Amino acid sequence: MIQVNLDRVLVDRKITSKMLAAGVDITPANLSILKTGKAKGIRFETLSKICEVLDCQPGDILEYVPDEKPSEN
C-alpha cells in the first residue's frame, strides 16, 4: 500500500493545504482526496508541482508500506 505523508510535510514546511492547492493549481477538494489516501493515482505533473512548492522529493510525500498479512491461528 502507498501511504501519503502530505500532512506531515505541510506541517514541516508551515504551509496550509489552501496555500498548497493554490500553488499547485488544483482544487482543495482534489488535494484533500490525495491527502487522505483516497486517490487512485496522481499525475507526475501534479507530483512535480507539489514537490516544487514544498521543496521536497516524492519520497517525502509517498511511502510504501507492506500490507499486513492476516495472522494464522
The yes-or-no verdict on residue 73 having pLDDT over 80 is no
C-alpha cell at 19: 496555500
Provide the residue range defining the domain that includes 47.
2-60
pTM: 0.85
Residue at 53 is within a domain: yes
Number of neighbouring beta carbons within 10 Å of residue 22 = 13
72 occurs within a structural domain = no
Average pLDDT over residues 45-72: 91
Average pLDDT over residues 19-24: 97
67 within some domain: no
Share of the chain above pLDDT 90, in %: 88
Rounded to an integer, the average pLDDT of 7-19 is 96
In a domain, 27, yes or no: yes
Flag whether 69 is in a domain.
Answer: no
Number of domains in the chain: 1
- Whether residue 13 has pLDDT greater than 80: yes
Asked if 51 and 20 touch (Cβ cutoff 8 Å), the reply is no
- Domain-located, residue 56: yes
The answer to whether residue 66 is domain-embedded is no
Q: Which residues contact 39 (CB under 8 A, 6 or more apart)?
A: 4, 33
